[in-house]
Amino acid sequence: MWDDTIAAIATPLGEGGLAIIRLSGPAALRVADRVFVPAGRRAPRPSQAASHTLHYGHVVRGTIRVDEVLCAVMRAPRTFTREDVVEITCHGGVLASKAVLETVLANGARLAHPGEFTQRAFLNGRIDLAQAEAVADLIQARTELALSAANEQLAGKLSQRIRQLRDDLMQTLAHIEAHLDFPEEDIAPHTRTQLAGRVAGAMAWVAELLRTAPEGRILRRGIRAAIIGRPNAGKSSLLNQLLGHERAIVSPVPGTTRDTIEETASVRGIPVVFIDTAGLREVRDDIEGEGVRRSREALARAELILHVLDGSEPLHSTDTQLLTEFAGKSRILVCNKCDLPAQLVLPEAIRERPAPPAATGHGLAPCVRISSKTGAGLELLKDAIEAAIWSGRVPAGMAQVTINARHQDALKRAQESLQLAREAIQAETSLEFVALDLRQGINAIGEIVGQTTTEDLLTTIFSQFCIGK
């Protein structure tokens, strides 16, 4: 338990209708008594108020009224941090909220560190470490699918699986350690086989969770999709259609886009960073050359390519060059200008075909006919993008349990330890070595929910939060 009281602005800084100053800790009610004057003679002070009640009044500093506010009183343990919590809702705006916060800090609270409210919730047993990380995911979610996945993790779906896995391994370890304590009770060969089977079952669980790592990475970070093609193929128009608003300048003059433009959009619930690139061609000046150089840098980082082709013109040598150059990358061919008479004939190897799946490494890719002018075919293109992203992975509907990079590292270490334990059991190695490997695997798994952790790890995780959370 913490012995001091923290405070911070829990709403984003800037102009707005309201702002919230949050206090948490053993002295939260006493600090509130010093700064909050309730309206009405019989209205109770915060320390006298019932839990989970809201009170109207003013924040004062000496004889000066700082602001007209509402004061929410929430008593431990039925709070987010399991400490006494007070939330003061004042007028929005930088100066108003800052004045209230400074008044609170001058009366016995200290400014919270980044993520300290959530860290207290974890250390006081309100949530586990995986749920704490879900709080940050919830705040940073950029699509409804990412929001849903974060809510599932906050509700404990991932934690339930991790705890079940850890409990099963603990039972196996207890069985082995019982034998080590009572060596006269020899373990028969068939029992060793059962132990190996238990470990193998745990390894299958770990492998299943590890398979969700790509989904977790996509939902949290999104993917980068570069839009390429020769000048005037309609790349900027396509970007505007995908975003739903005019972001890039569109002109019939080739080479209008001279720098990369990045914007994020939600495609079937997946955050996709679309990168409009300068047309890849022989450059005419240094500025255009710099644009092409930046385009190639963006292409190197992109996980998906949308190769825009002008369907109203025959295949150009530049098109052929780009088709060959990026044959090994995941890509979708976008045959633009389908509202005009078709003139484009693709090579036999990449003949137009229905959307999924993505690149196969042999130059094959889905080709979608669209019009970036009218928007025709845009939904089919979004279907193709979704199929390319999820191709070969767990379906998006299974994303309620997805791991992040920290979970992935812990599970990989657990997988290695469990593999050693199973091999030791099968080789009839001394059970002391089996127990050691199992213990290491259990500790690695426990790191995910915070049952085994270090102060440095907690500092790293919670330092990524905003101050008021």
Residue 190 has pLDDT above 70, yes or no: no
Residue 97 pLDDT grade (very low, low, confident, very high; cuts 50, 70, 90)? very high
Which span out of 100-109, 314-323, 338-347, 423-432 was modeled with the highest average pLDDT? 100-109
CA separation (Å) from 287 to 233, 235, 256, 298, 301? Answer: 20, 19, 12, 17, 22
pLDDT recorded at residue 352: 45
Say which residue, 260 or 54, is predicted with more confidence.
54
pLDDT higher for 128 or 466?
A: 128
CA 407 to the chain's CA centroid: 13
Task: Evaluate whether 390 touches 398 at the Cβ level (below 8 Å).
Answer: no
Confidence of residue 246 (pLDDT cuts 50, 70, 90): low
pLDDT bucket at 217, cuts 50 / 70 / 90: confident
Domains of the chain are 6-112 (3.30.1360.120), 131-212+402-462 (1.20.120.430), 223-397 (3.40.50.300)
251: pLDDT confidence band, cut at 50, 70 and 90?
Answer: very low
pLDDT of residue 279: 55
Q: Per-residue pLDDT averaged across 390-404, rounded? A: 61
Higher pLDDT, 2 or 58: 58
Q: Note if the bond before 347 is cis, omega within 30 degrees.
A: no
**pLDDT, greater one: 257 or 102:** 102
How many helices (DSSP H) and strands (DSSP E) are in the chain? 15, 13
The model's pLDDT over 422-454, given as tens digits with 9 standing for 90+, comes to 999 888 888 889 999 999 999 999 999 998 877
Q: Mean pLDDT lowest for which of 38-47, 108-117, 407-416, 425-434?
A: 425-434
pLDDT at 387 over 80: yes
Q: Which of 251, 261, 272 is nearest to 228 (CA)?
A: 261
Mean pLDDT of 13-32: 93
Instruction: Give the per-residue pLDDT at 163.
Output: 93
What mean pLDDT value characterizes the chain? Answer: 84
User: Quick check: bond before 357 cis, omega within 30?
Assistant: yes
Tokens of 22: 């949050």
Between 372 and 56, residue with greater pLDDT: 56
Mean pLDDT, rounded, for 126-131: 93
Place of tokens 């709403």: 11
Give the rounded distance of the alpha carbon of 438 from its chain centre. 30
User: In this predicted structure, what is the pLDDT of residue 183?
Assistant: 67
Q: Extract the tokens encoding 45.
A: 């002070």
